[in-house]
Every structure is written in structure tokens, then in C-alpha cells.
Amino acid sequence: MRLVLVLAAAVTLALPAAAAAPSRTDLRIRVWPDGTGGRSKLWTLSCGPVGGTLPRPARACRVLASIRAPFAPVPSDAVCSEIYGGPQVALVTGTFRGRRVWTWFRRRNGCETARWARVQVLFPIRV
């Protein structure tokens, strides 16, 4: 009986440590500065440990960590200004906080431009 209690206590103590472990982030970021018909640039980003080819990866990881859902799409019922932000297009794929990511970013209207701006650190191009 004593062994069962010791094992139960060990498992209980181990669970918070496992749950607190950070989920892995590994992203591929492809940006078309002049739209999808033009040339593209490709970067990678890893968080935990920080690395990749994206300029200033530690800053990018901090920014992403501060946003609750950085890759959430614009809600389908959103009312957006019809102000064109530019031809830039980006595709982000990989894993974020241990979950699969496959999402496009565009600047076709105010909502999409604001979504782009929230994660601008992933797109090191001039817009």
C-alpha cells in the first residue's frame, strides 16, 4: 500500500512539470513582396529553443508569445474597411504551440491589413 501511495505522489508531482513544458514552435514563412506572381522570400523560425533564418528570431518569438491567437483568421462576420493595403502575400506553415499552422496573410482590406500588422515581425519586408 505504501508503494502505491509513493508512486501516486510521484506521478502527481510529475504532471505539473510535464504540463508546464512549452509547446514547440517551428514555422516556415514565405512572403511574396509583389504578390504571388512575383519572387518570394523564405524564412524559418523556431521558438524553444530560439532559432531559424528569420531576422531577430528572439523578438519574433516574444511577439508571438504575447498574442493569444496570432494565426486566427479574420472572422467571417467582420465588417472591414475596403482600403487596399498592398499586393504583399505571405504563407505561414508549420507548428505553433504544438498545433499545426497553415494560413495565408494578405492586405486586401482593413481587417486583413490589421491581421498582417499584428504579426509583422514575421514578414521582414518593406510595405
Calpha distance 52→5 (Å, rounded): 45
pLDDT given for residue 23 in this prediction: 74
pLDDT given for residue 58 in this prediction: 96
pLDDT given for residue 42 in this prediction: 97
For residue 51, the cross-strand partners are 46
- Torsion sign, CA atoms 101, 96, 57, 121: positive
Calpha distance 37→63 (Å, rounded): 29
- Does the pLDDT value for residue 9 go beyond 70? no
pTM tops 0.85: no
DSSP sequence for 37-50: TS--EEEEEEETTT
Calpha distance 41→48 (Å, rounded): 24
pLDDT given for residue 126 in this prediction: 73
Phi, psi of 30 (to 5 degrees): -115, 125
**Mean pLDDT estimate for the chain:** 85
- Does the pLDDT value for residue 103 go beyond 60? yes
**Domain range 22-72+82-122, CATH class:** alpha beta
Calpha distance 15→91 (Å, rounded): 36
Q: Residue 18: which pLDDT band, with cuts at 50, 70 and 90?
A: very low
Q: If 0-12 CB within 10 Å is exposed, 13-18 middle and 19+ buried, where does residue 25 land?
A: buried
Give the pLDDT confidence of 58-102 residue by residue, as tens digits. Answer: 999 999 999 999 999 999 999 999 999 999 999 999 999 999 999
Do 117 and 85 touch, CB atoms closer than 8 A? no
Each domain of the chain, given as residue ranges in start order, spans 22-72+82-122
Selection from 105, 85, 101 nearest residue 93 by Cα: 101
Calpha distance 109→78 (Å, rounded): 11
